[in-house]
Amino acid sequence: MKNLKTKISTIEAQCLSELKKARSLESLESVRVSYLGRNGALTDLMSTLKTLSLDDKRTFGPALNQLKQRLTLAYESRKSELEKKSNTSDALFDVTAYKPHQMQGSLHLYTQIIEQLSSIFISMGYTIADGPEMETEYYNFTTLNIPEDHPARDSHDTFWLSQPDRLLRTHTSSVQAHGMEKTPPPLALFAPGRCYRNEATDATHDFMFTQGEGVFIDKNVSMAQLLATAQTFLQQFFGTEKLKIRVRPGYFPFVEPGVEIDGSCPFCDKGCSVCKYTTWIELLGAGLIHPNVLRVNGIDPDQYNGFAFGFGIERLAMIKYGITDIRLFHSANIPFLKQFA
Ligand SMILES: [Zn+2]
């Protein structure tokens, strides 16, 4: 009879372990059949009862019935666990179900472009810098070698605020001085941000626009480094290694010498409407930082020098994506924005 006792506990242990291992309703059913089914191990064991003495029948009869109950309960509970799991996956998936239309948000084109530009400059070792949109004359003009009587102040069509000495910054070049104040050279900053100019709007001019400003200051910085940086950045932004640059003299009070950098048209070889059939497009204003700018910001121009460049972020995006009106950027025009979702 010891033998029967061992059999009961072995069958119980085996059955419970197989129920636990069953990962699908099919495999669970085959465990049920092999233990609790008509020809299963438990039924088999029960059929041996009739060969036992009356006393043994009294002991093992109830023991086998209790085992059957325990195994049936364990089977039921595993079954409901597996059913729950299959209901949450594809068992209840109804391909004909109606789903109401939902509006889905996406990043604004401004954000996308600024992220693209920032990641290019970060890959070149630049830090992304930020500065206030409400500026003082000192940061917007004086630190950039634009003294009070300088005609460049008038050409900026500044929005003056009612507080004395406060204005909306006319360019992101004002971030340069904040950067130089905070970080001693060597310094590599890229500052994208909003700028404001009090001028009439048309398809290519707006009173509010975004600029990107790059500054690099170290010892023995050369024009060659500026040009290599500009070309690498433009090639990455327009996604073509064929892009070449050419340089023309340009005037900005905060650089000496100042240059205008054109890029070869990323869309054609022989001229197209984007490059106005010239194969070149004006892209950046740049130059080597004027010694006065370094000096006013506490950097010795005999030890350090640097380059700076700036560009209209909308202008680059308009060229890249064929956008014909700058005012669309902040028009909240959903069909326009959806094209870039
Ligand atoms: Zn072209």
- Domain identity same for 145 and 59: no
- Domain identity same for 71 and 122: no
Domain assignment present for 102: no
CA of 245 to the centre of ligand 1 (A): 14
| Nearest CA-CA partner of 75 in 139, 158, 18, 154 | 18
pLDDT at 1 over 90: no
CA of 258 to the centre of ligand 1 (A): 26
CA of 265 to the centre of ligand 1 (A): 5
Average of pLDDT values for 135-159?
Answer: 84
| Predicted pLDDT of residue 89 | 57
- Domain identity same for 185 and 300: yes
Of the three residues 91, 118, 138, the one that is the final residue of a domain is 91
Average of pLDDT values for 151-161?
Answer: 80
Contacts with 308 (C-beta within 8 Å, 6 or more apart), sequence order:
173, 176, 213, 214, 215, 216, 254, 255, 286, 287, 289
| Nearest CA-CA partner of 329 in 210, 241, 229 | 210
pTM value is: 0.69
Domain assignment present for 67: yes
What is the residue-averaged pLDDT of the chain? 90
CA of 268 to the centre of ligand 1 (A): 4
pLDDT at 91 over 60: no
pLDDT at 104 over 90: no
Which residues fall inside 5 Å of ion ligand 1, going by CB? 265, 267-268, 272, 274-275
* Cα 207 from chain centre: 29
**Overall domain count for the chain:** 2
CA of 281 to the centre of ligand 1 (A): 8
pLDDT at 332 over 90: no
Residue 86: which domain range? Answer: 2-91
| Predicted pLDDT of residue 5 | 84
CA of 280 to the centre of ligand 1 (A): 7
Average of pLDDT values for 312-328?
Answer: 93
Domain assignment present for 103: no
| Predicted pLDDT of residue 317 | 94
Check the CA dihedral 9-10-15-17 and report its sign. Answer: positive
Q: How confident is the model at residue 51 (pLDDT cuts 50, 70, 90)?
A: confident
Nearest-5° Cα angle at 170, 287 to 237: 55
pLDDT tens, position by position, 66-85:
999 999 999 999 999 888 88
Average of pLDDT values for 140-165?
Answer: 84
How far is it, in rounded angstroms, from Cα 266 to Cα 312? 17
Q: How confident is the model at residue 129 (pLDDT cuts 50, 70, 90)?
A: very high
